[in-house]
Amino acid sequence: MKLSVDDIENASQLFKSCDYLILQLEVPHSVVKSAIQKAHENNVKVILNPAPAQPFPIEMLTESDIITPNQYEAEVLSGVKIRSVEDAIQALKALNRRCPSRKVITLGEKGALASDSDHRYLYLVPRKIDVQDTTAAGDAFNAGLAYGLSKGMDWVATLQLANNAGAIACTRIGAQSALPYLRDIDSFYAAQGAGEIQYFDA
């Protein structure tokens, strides 16, 4: 919480050498807002993981950005109680009215739901895993998104990579120690495939 807007200004050169910026809400909102503005000034795309759950002006996000709330965070931002995939679709529609960014709601053991540029919603069916610890699941998911997109993967393949990274993290104890390497994801793909996706019309 000691991170300041001045720290963002002092690190402004970093925004000139990256493609994606991952942010969360464990630092002051003023810092997050400043980082988003600085990213947009430098054509850097933002991935906002709005955790922990709290109100935030997501209207700042653009079509180039992505927001990745979990179920509870999506409820706080959308005002929609999520008990099913259908509820999650309604939450995405509510979020769409607030900002034009792409969106992914991670639903824990129920998988994930994402918006698509083709006016569809993509439901990533949960992977079959032996859950040990979910601590690092969100971090792995967001890292997978940033990696896939920065490597030029399409949206669907990127979502699958992120979903599998999050699943693998759940099979391990701890936080940093649970994050998978690419070789772990390759092995997971070889054993189980990339994962099923179901499509819903927007």
Contacts of 40 (CB under 8 A, 6+ apart): 46, 62
From CA 95, how far away is CA 82, in angstroms rounded?
Answer: 13
24 alpha-carbon distance from chain centroid: 10
Q: Is the pLDDT of residue 51 over 90?
A: yes
End-to-end Cα separation, the chain, in angstroms: 39
Q: What percent of the chain has pLDDT over 70?
A: 100
Q: Show the tokens assigned to 36.
A: 């988003």
Mean pLDDT of all residues belonging to the chain: 95
Task: Output the pLDDT for position 59.
Answer: 98
Where do we find the tokens 């990256």? 18
Q: Is the pLDDT of residue 116 over 90?
A: no
Task: Output the pLDDT for position 67.
Answer: 98
Q: What percent of the chain has pLDDT over 90?
A: 94
Average pLDDT over residues 77-94: 96
Task: Output the pLDDT for position 107.
Answer: 94
Residue-wise pLDDT tens digits, 148-202: 999 999 999 999 999 999 999 999 999 999 999 999 999 999 999 999 999 998 7
- Burial of 35-69, coded b for 16+ CB within 10 Å and e otherwise, reads bbebbbeeebbbbbbbbebeebebebbeeebbbbb
Catalytic residue (choose from 19, 130, 139, 184): 139
Average pLDDT over residues 59-81: 97
- Burial of 106-123, coded b for 16+ CB within 10 Å and e otherwise, reads bbbebbbbbbbeeeebbb
Outline which parts of the chain fall under CATH 3.40.1190.20: 1-106
Task: Output the pLDDT for position 119.
Answer: 76
Average pLDDT over residues 85-95: 95
Residue 139 appears among annotated catalytic residues: yes
Kindly indicate whether the domain formed by 1-106 is annotated with CATH number 3.40.1190.20: yes
Average pLDDT over residues 21-41: 97
The DSSP element (H or E) to which 66 belongs, if any, is strand 66-67
Average pLDDT over residues 76-102: 96
